[in-house]
Structure 1
């Protein structure tokens, strides 16, 4: 689903802005940039705890994918909520 959104990002009419004026592709970009930071942190912590780079990289890879998806849906849900806007 996210990959499809990225591929169609050039089509302006594909995405409608939500009430905050953000398109879903912006949420994808924010999720990706945050996950890079978070994954580097996970990689470092995993390496310190395990002492094995291959295991740390495996943990960081799974972490990257799962939390990217979770963050995207979390971000979109919060864009619907009017509280605090």
Structure 2
């Protein structure tokens, strides 16, 4: 595996985490009515989500699934399942209320799937970390 693919996945991890964290902060703020709770949940997610996302990227990189919009859709769905479970658990823990965790988790299913799909499509067009465009596994 080329070293450049690790750089690519790290860059994708960071850009997605920025987008995802901002979305979580706003949703948690709206649902709880408390901007500090939104910041706490978003801040906690930075670590857990970057670790989970990086391994999600590595697993998908090593699959034999061809590049296609279907692949991006399946990556979107698998990531959203992992991400929503993480958000639900963190939101529950931080707010102390399982219903709050559930509300935040459910709300982000829609917003994050849309944002993630466009993040994937954008990265598909970027050559950063690829040795040759023709052998791209992303």
Q: TM-score, normalised by structure 1?
A: 0.71
Partners of 2:62 and 2:49 in 1: CA distance: 20
3-state SS, counterpart of residue 28 of structure 2? helix
The CA deviation string for residues 12-50 of structure 1, in whole angstroms up to 9 with x for no partner, is xxxx517xxx52121011011011011100000000011
Partner of 2:19: 37
Q: Which runs of 5+ in 2 are unaligned?
A: 68-138
Partner of 1:82: 64
Partners of 2:37 and 2:16 in 1: CA distance: 22
Q: Tell me how large the CA RMSD over aligned residues is.
A: 1.6
Which ranges of 4 or more aligned residues in structure 1 deviate by more than 6 Å?
none
Partner of 1:3: none
Q: Which runs of 5+ in 1 are unaligned?
A: 1-15
Q: TM-score, normalised by structure 2?
A: 0.45
Partner of 1:72: 54
The CA deviation string for residues 33-81 of structure 1, in whole angstroms up to 9 with x for no partner, is 0110111000000000111111110000111211111110110111111
Partner of 2:6: 24
Q: Please identify which structure carries the higher helix content.
A: 2
Partners of 1:64 and 1:83 in 2: CA distance: 28
